[in-house]
Amino acid sequence: VLRVKLCGNLKYYQAHLYGTVVPPDEITVNYRHGLPLITLTLPSRKERCQFVVKPMLSTVGSFLQDLQNEDKGIKTAAVFTADGCEIPASTLMDILLMNDFKLVINKVAYDVQCPKKEDPSNKHATEMENMKSLVHRLFTILHLEEFQKKREQDLLDKIDHLKEQLHPLEQDYTYSAVKSRQFLQFFHKKSKQQHFDVEQYNRLKEDLAKAKESLKRVRHSLYLRMQVE
């Protein structure tokens, strides 16, 4: 039964070699679709093989186990820092790939250089913002007409409700009279005598005017959409 050796010292492996081994087929690390891709030559088949690494899930131990599963000729494997310190099997690959390291397979040491990648937090944030913007645009295109029709009905209901609230207040006073400067003092005097709520009246009239203006814009947008279709 073959097993992956996860402990030891780099000097131990180097002592059993005739010298420093620099294989012609080096181990490379690249990024594809944001995921690390480790390419190396399998010692038994002498074939180049690629391993896709899930940084936040894969560990050094699981990576070495994947190597052994792919090539049963790998009897020992270990990972060391560039200066020869052993890296624990529990270390996340995301941490390992932050710096250059040495991969020792069957007593042969390979120097692995890790490319510098851009700040993942900034890249992730940018990608998320772009995705949100795209989803928002798609939603708008697909549901704009439905939303506008619902908005139109909501505004109509609001206008009717405001008119119902204004009706008893306008039985004795008309809005045009209220706006008249000549009538203003008389209006306020009479309103106090009859407990007429001027602030409420003005607020309702302003809300009604805004609702009518919003309704006008929604209907204009719907009209333009029908013209395009």
- Rounded to whole angstroms, the Cα distance separating 201 from 180 reads 15
3-state per-residue secondary structure call for 120-170: HHHHHHHHHHHHHHHHHHHHHHHHHHHHHHHHHHHHHHHHHHHHHHHHHHH
CB neighbours of residue 195 within 10 Å: 6
- Rounded to whole angstroms, the Cα distance separating 7 from 76 reads 10
Any residues with CB less than 8 A from the CB of 92 and at least 6 apart, and which? 55, 56, 58, 59, 60
- Rounded to whole angstroms, the Cα distance separating 158 from 152 reads 10
The structure's pTM equals 0.44
- Rounded to whole angstroms, the Cα distance separating 147 from 153 reads 10
Q: From first to last of its 229 residues, what are the pLDDT tens digits of the chain?
A: 233 333 344 444 444 443 344 455 789 999 887 789 999 999 998 889 999 988 778 899 999 999 999 999 999 999 999 999 999 999 999 899 999 999 999 999 999 999 876 555 566 667 777 787 777 667 666 666 677 788 888 889 999 988 888 877 666 555 455 455 555 555 566 555 555 566 777 888 888 888 888 888 878 776 665 654 5
Query: Is the separation of the CB atoms in 63 and 54 below 8 Å?
Result: no
- Rounded to whole angstroms, the Cα distance separating 71 from 32 reads 24
- Rounded to whole angstroms, the Cα distance separating 23 from 196 reads 95
Q: Which two tokens stand for residue 98?
A: 């932050």
- Rounded to whole angstroms, the Cα distance separating 74 from 126 reads 41
Q: Tokens 């510098």 label which residue? A: 116
Which of 8, 3, 18 minimizes the C-alpha distance to 74?
Answer: 3
- Rounded to whole angstroms, the Cα distance separating 81 from 28 reads 16
Strands 101-105 and 77-81: antiparallel
